[in-house]
A and B are shown apart, each in its own frame.
Chain A
């Protein structure tokens, strides 16, 4: 039983230098064929559950034309929406206009996730992206006017040669746009990306860490609910919380991943195979031990941590029996307070060290 759906739209007008998601340059012919295949996949696999969260990501979903979007929303009618569904659509800031927003609104979208990433010239040049504050401000206003009151903005930091002052400016601009939600990421160089192949070097760890501290401090009015995510209380991403709560979800589309009936699966990244209906590439049957590992790896990303009672209920074993946490709690790497176990916020940025000791 899954009540969350992710749909991948693997098209972009331009490829960002650091992106390792599954994506292609937009091409009209391909989009048509893709939407047909997507429809088939959904029809094949969707088990008619009521859907609480729906997330259209990419790629760049906003790269589709109005008619393509209309077709997409038609396909989405296959799903039964719950009355208070959270329906997120990812947009590139450059693509936003009233036509797009109208169609999204009509299609039931009630949350926008807008990739801005930075306003800094050097950062934008490295990322091979565009953004302009004035333009962004105008577009945010448009969104507000058309009734979108739940908006996430993405911000990247620790880009090559970025200085602390650059981040401060960027963050300031982002705050001026008054989003309900901010996702921040320091740069990760993934293999098979242009940035990686060009042997880009990371910012120093010290600076990266200081930038992270600065972001946390600056956003301390917001709810810092996940390692990289901040929200006005009540505007946390329900969809993403499904991942971090280790709950099941559908993943449809090229290269998408899902977790259904105890199986984690990943779809093919081969366009050709996908069109031919050869959709799933990998499957992992997750047994109880592995499920509990996922629970910890994902759950401890949340600042609130893992609810011990929920853990016990879900796995019929207490988290202390399942994992040896004594030493980590004694060291104050983990904190146990009331019903929760969570990572010491001071150590969040080295959480892999802690997770590797738990699993």
Chain B
């Protein structure tokens, strides 16, 4: 294949701006999928998109258009995952930026665009959904010009729904996006941008060959881990799998090499071949650092190994997932897992539950703190339980973010109030046009981790979109707050809070726990403390009555069923000391209401 005739590109967009529909339309137009099949595909991917992201089906599709090979590399999963977008973009030379003609630029439009620019990609701006009655093409066009700096003639109008303009987009892909560099004679280097586990083939790698080539029978080496494997199968997806004998520089495809040991594979790693071995791995793929950490514990202690296996499998196509074993006095053996954000945590939690059938308790998420001690040394902690004694601490720094909150201007007041309540520092308000603003605040990341996003949505009736970037660490007056149940500190419930907010937070947590923890056979005091000082207290009064008053011959079977149901209910609880605590109590600390 002539390198000049290859194009690698992605589609990036804010959620619901029409990315998937456009991808489907492109598949149809290039004849990769017939119109009849298309419908099936659409239905499938809708379900899948919800369950596990579109990743599996549409990850890297090889298409033919006007004599060119174009590889559409999907930005998998939810667009909120900027890291996912970033790793797909690393395999591209260009990207289509889709903006909804009725919505205009949203927070993730910006975030994704910046990522694409970081990867040095050629951007093709597209205004989608021009067929909608409330489309405002001139306004959105003006935003693209004013806010993002595109030229008017660059912008393509389309309706992915009707197909209008899709051909123009494909033409622009060929004309504007550069071909991959011809580096076939160099040392072999290929980027792993995704992977998944196949029950028959083991780990399957999705790669873009950047330099050199890989053949069936090649010995490949993972540069980060040093493991080597014999390639048994190479292929491309069209979107059906099609086997090939080699992948050359510029090409995108999948490799299977009977890889059973999941731990040797890192998404973002570079593959080389032993007969043409490179010395240095590829650059340009930034390792994403998790920002939010939480302890994940199986509700049933004997499920620890199942949890380990599940997390390992998830990590295969989720390079951002970091984990290490953790032990909690209250919850037993589990893992401290690092996530990129709360949504990421949410997705992992529900995948563990749905795909692996595990009942998980997650402890309240923590960010990474920098602790400076009085003796001049410092340490980095990702869990409240690693916090040293207060007297040894000189000061603590916590991560701050800068917000992009794009919203109709009428909500400025409530958004500012929300940011203020979250310890935000006002920076600026930019007007995108007379009715829409981008509000910038510096806010501690730990405040976002709680219920910021939900609150923002409710304060603005769902109109605001939100994104952020990490801007570094600032000194904060922070303390560790413990929660005591029945007089015992429950390590899994400890959190780090700002001193000024400690009292109200402590009070709201104990009140909430009082409601969430069912009454038991004895009275349970719930306390919040800082050091040895109790700052809030509630009691759960003892259960007085839980009995079947009457039980004679006719009632026996039914009463047994009732008791068995009660027993099932208990399974969803965790014994913490002598207290039965429901799963949701561990996350109670998350939201304030």
A residues apposed to B, CB below 8 Å = 6, 21, 185-186, 188, 205-206, 208-209, 212, 227-228, 240, 242-244, 249, 251, 255-259, 264, 266, 282, 284, 293-294, 297-298, 301, 331, 333, 347-353, 355-357, 359
On whether A257 and B547 interact (CB within 8 A), knowing A347-B521, A352-B566, the answer reads no
Bound-state CA distance A356–B543 (Å) is 15
Q: List 25 A-B contacts (CB under 8 A).
A: A188-B549, A205-B544, A205-B545, A209-B544, A209-B545, A227-B547, A243-B553, A257-B553, A257-B554, A257-B555, A257-B557, A282-B557, A294-B556, A298-B551, A333-B521, A347-B521, A348-B547, A349-B545, A350-B546, A352-B547, A352-B548, A352-B566, A353-B546, A356-B563, A356-B569
B564 near A: Cβ within 8 Å?
A: yes
Chain A nearest CB from B562 CB (Å) reads: 8
Contact between A301 and B521, CB atoms less than 8 A apart: no
Range class of the B interface residue count:
20 to 34
Chain A residues, CB < 8 A from B544: 205-206, 208-209, 349-350
Contact between A208 and B552, CB atoms less than 8 A apart: no
The 8 A CB mask of B508-550 against A (1 = contact, 0 = none) is 0000000000001100000000000000000000011111111
* New A-B contacts (12) at CB < 8 Å, excluding given A205-B545, A357-B570: A21-B554, A227-B549, A228-B550, A257-B557, A266-B554, A284-B557, A298-B556, A331-B578, A348-B547, A349-B547, A350-B543, A356-B570
On whether A350 and B521 interact (CB within 8 A), knowing A205-B544, A243-B556, A293-B560, the answer reads yes
Chain A residues, CB < 8 A from B551: 227, 243-244, 298, 301
On whether A208 and B563 interact (CB within 8 A), knowing A256-B554, A266-B557, A298-B556, the answer reads no
Bound-state CA distance A227–B569 (Å) is 24
Bound-state CA distance A259–B554 (Å) is 10
Chain B nearest CB from A23 CB (Å) reads: 12
Contact between A188 and B550, CB atoms less than 8 A apart: yes
Contact between A294 and B570, CB atoms less than 8 A apart: no
Interface residues of B in 546-590 (CB under 8 A from A): 546-557, 559-560, 562-564, 566-567, 569-570, 578
Chain A nearest CB from B340 CB (Å) reads: 41
Contact between B563 and A359, CB atoms less than 8 A apart: yes
**Most interface-central of A209, A294, A350 (chain B CB within 10 A):** A350
Contact between B545 and A251, CB atoms less than 8 A apart: no
Chain A residues, CB < 8 A from B550: 185, 188, 228
Bound-state CA distance A347–B521 (Å) is 8
Chain A residues, CB < 8 A from B545: 186, 205, 208-209, 212, 349-350
The 8 A CB mask of B106-135 against A (1 = contact, 0 = none) is 000000000000000000000000000000
Chain A residues, CB < 8 A from B543: 205, 350, 353
With beta carbons under 8 angstroms apart, the residue of B546, B567, B569 that contacts A359 is B567
The 8 closest A-B pairs by CB, nearest first: A209-B544, A356-B566, A205-B544, A352-B546, A356-B567, A257-B554, A185-B549, A350-B546
Contact between B552 and A297, CB atoms less than 8 A apart: no
Chain A residues, CB < 8 A from B563: 297, 352, 355-356, 359
Contact between A359 and B564, CB atoms less than 8 A apart: yes
Interface residues of B in 354-402 (CB under 8 A from A): none
Chain B nearest CB from A8 CB (Å) reads: 8
Chain B residues, CB < 8 A from A209: 544-545
Chain B residues, CB < 8 A from A294: 556, 560
Chain B nearest CB from A210 CB (Å) reads: 9
**Most interface-central of A212, A259, A293, A356 (chain B CB within 10 A):** A356
Chain B residues, CB < 8 A from A356: 563, 566-567, 569-570
Chain B residues, CB < 8 A from A359: 560, 563-564, 567
Contact between A264 and B554, CB atoms less than 8 A apart: no
Bound-state CA distance A351–B549 (Å) is 10
Chain B nearest CB from A262 CB (Å) reads: 13
